[in-house]
Structure 1
Amino acid sequence: MAYPYKKVFEAVERALFDMRSPDVEAKVQREKLDMFKNYATRKLSDDDYFAIMVKVVFYSGFRAETVKAKEAVIFGHFPDLDTVAGHGKKDVKRVLLDTAMIRNERKIQACVDNARVMQALIQEHGSFRSFLLSFGQLKALEDVLLLKETLEAKFGYLGGVTVYHFMTDVGLPVLKPDRVITRMFLRLGLIEDKRQLLKTVLHGQKFAAATGLPIRYIDIVFVLYGQASATAYGITQGVCLDSPRCSACSLRKVHCRYPLDQASATAP
């Protein structure tokens, strides 16, 4: 029997809207979520791509709330591609001395190194977008995976989940197989182990194909359902948490394997 991707996603999406806090109007919630349907059609500049990469580097291994609270400080030190590409050792030391900054030397140096790599690719291809498209229209899975391997090889801190995070946020047709998504897909019986990143990505594409919805929208709906809270979207408490609120989940009796997932819940 074929997996009911469309039915499962629609149940999660419907529950997400039902969970909306009265502090956020339904129209506002809908508009905020609908923005994620347009990620693939955005026109991004070279500086936009670099800013996304900087955020992804700092998000790696850190709590989202920690990085978000520091974004203004981070971009004060990394304002644009050309400026950062010109940073030297003294600039890196200056950033490290800022007590308001996330003072992780490896991440700071990776942003400088990545700026130089990106600058070289732009000089070769005309723009970073042209570099991405040199792998094809990036709709076929093999093109996406070839690009993924190249990004991992060329850029610091783009590996494992993080490379998918970057690809997702620039609008490519993959979701990021982070701990929230893998936890949910494990409980839904789609993967056997949280380390199955590619399999998680492939199931994300199946959700998109079954629903006709953009992959970035699929990603955000699952993430909001499975993370602790997202007050800006009207979600004060998620459902599919580490300790799930099963009584609030419409998938519990039909599609969910919890607590059977604990037997194979290997940490990524």
Structure 2
Amino acid sequence: MRTVEERDKILGLIIKSVEENAKTQPDLAKPTSKSYQDDKEIFLKICELIAYQGANAKVVTNKVIKEGLLEKALANGDFNEVAKRTPEKFKKQFWEEIKCIRFTKKLEKMIGVARAMRKIIKEHGSFHSFLKKFKLPRKLESTSDIDNFWDSVDKIREAFKAYEMPGLKNTTTLMHFLENMGYPCLKPDRIVLRVMHNVGLVEKETGKKHLRQAVRTIQEYCVGKDITPKIMDRFLLMFGGQSDFKDSMKRTFCYSSDKCDITDCEIRRQGYCVIAR
């Protein structure tokens, strides 16, 4: 694995490559997603994450999210109303409009989210009050803050299990959710893991251990620097050719998990690319 010095060098080169090859300088002050405050918004967001799982993200965004069809199917965020439904009734009323989410099993999960939300709000008053009890740090200023972050994440995961909250069990989705809630982490999706594997910052592109390792590596890099994990996430996605940023870049670099034949990449030139052909 890389030393701290190598890590900082590699991530610095990724930032530099993106800045030099962006068509326009990315507006890093602009958040990649809003921070959800209202309990209804939080319910809708969790269900939205479920809708995306295993589906074509662009299709779901354009046909279901932007058109407001998922929100309509979820009673505009009224989780008490959704909690009363049966999967059969849910499917009969709304499946045709939102079937691009692919799996009808997701409807059962969304009902499960509604019922878990109902329990959480009844006991804690609000979802934010529930999260506050775990003392997740909002800012990472030291390694101990990062340790506390992951200790809290493990406790939150156990609490979700106790409340039978579906949809937030895997690391990728939970990190995505917490990022949207304003916490200092990032979604370790396949592009982030591919880039970090290709430059030797994680051993493999899959597996819970490596997903956590990827997030923690970025968190450690950001400590003491004028950059957040969310912003670093954007640099990794732009470097890896994520479709949302395709039109923002003159070129991309880390688009393959196989052998790389891009000879004018500075990371390759300096010997940090582990898949160089």
- TM-score (ref. length: structure 1): 0.80
Any idea what SS the aligned residue of 1:213 has? coil
* Partner residue in 2 for 1:76: 72
Distance 2:268 2:29 in 1: 27
Q: Which amino acid aligns with 2:104?
A: E
Distance 1:15 1:96 in 2: 44
Matches within 5 A, 1:124-143: 124-138=123-137, 139=145, 140-141=148-149, 142-143=151-152
Q: Which amino acid aligns with 2:128?
A: R
Aligned CA distance change for structure 1 residues 38 and 162 (closer, same or farther; 3 Å): closer
CA deviation profile, 1:133-181 (whole Å, cap 9, x unmatched): 1111445231123213433563212222222222222222222222111
2:202 maps to which of 191, 194, 197: 191
1:189/1:255 contact within 8 Å kept? no
Distance 1:211 1:241 in 2: 27
Decide which moves more: 243-252 or 104-113: 243-252
Any idea what SS the aligned residue of 1:175 has? coil
2:60/2:100 contact within 8 Å kept? no
2:186/2:233 contact within 8 Å kept? yes
Matches within 5 A, 1:114-129: 114-129=113-128
* Partner residue in 1 for 2:189: 178
Aligned CA distance change for structure 1 residues 116 and 16 (closer, same or farther; 3 Å): same
Question: Relative contact order, CA 8 A, sep 6+: which one is greater?
Answer: 1
Aligned CA distance change for structure 1 residues 206 and 236 (closer, same or farther; 3 Å): same
2:13 maps to which of 11, 14, 19: 11
Distance 2:98 2:212 in 1: 38
* Partner residue in 2 for 1:259: 275
Aligned CA distance change for structure 1 residues 74 and 100 (closer, same or farther; 3 Å): same
Matches within 5 A, 1:11-50: 11-21=13-23, 25-26=24-25, 29-30=26-27, 33-36=28-31, 42=35, 44-50=37-43
Segments of 5+ residues of structure 2 without an aligned counterpart are: 138-144
1:113/1:156 contact within 8 Å kept? yes
1:231 Cα deviation from its structure 2 partner? 4.6
1:44 Cα deviation from its structure 2 partner? 1.2
Decide which moves more: 147-156 or 101-110: 147-156
Segments of 5+ residues of structure 1 without an aligned counterpart are: 263-268
1:144 maps to which of 136, 141, 153: 153
2:33/2:180 contact within 8 Å kept? no
* Partner residue in 2 for 1:266: none
* Partner residue in 2 for 1:227: 241
1:80 Cα deviation from its structure 2 partner? 0.7
Q: Which amino acid aligns with 1:76?
A: K
Distance 1:63 1:210 in 2: 37
Runs of 4+ in 1 over 6 A off after TM superposition: none
Q: State the number of aligned residues.
A: 252
1:90 Cα deviation from its structure 2 partner? 1.4
* Partner residue in 2 for 1:106: 105
2:263/2:269 contact within 8 Å kept? no
Aligned CA distance change for structure 1 residues 13 and 86 (closer, same or farther; 3 Å): farther
Compute the RMSD of aligned alpha carbons.
2.9
1:86 Cα deviation from its structure 2 partner? 3.8
1:229 Cα deviation from its structure 2 partner? 2.8
Any idea what SS the aligned residue of 2:268 has? coil
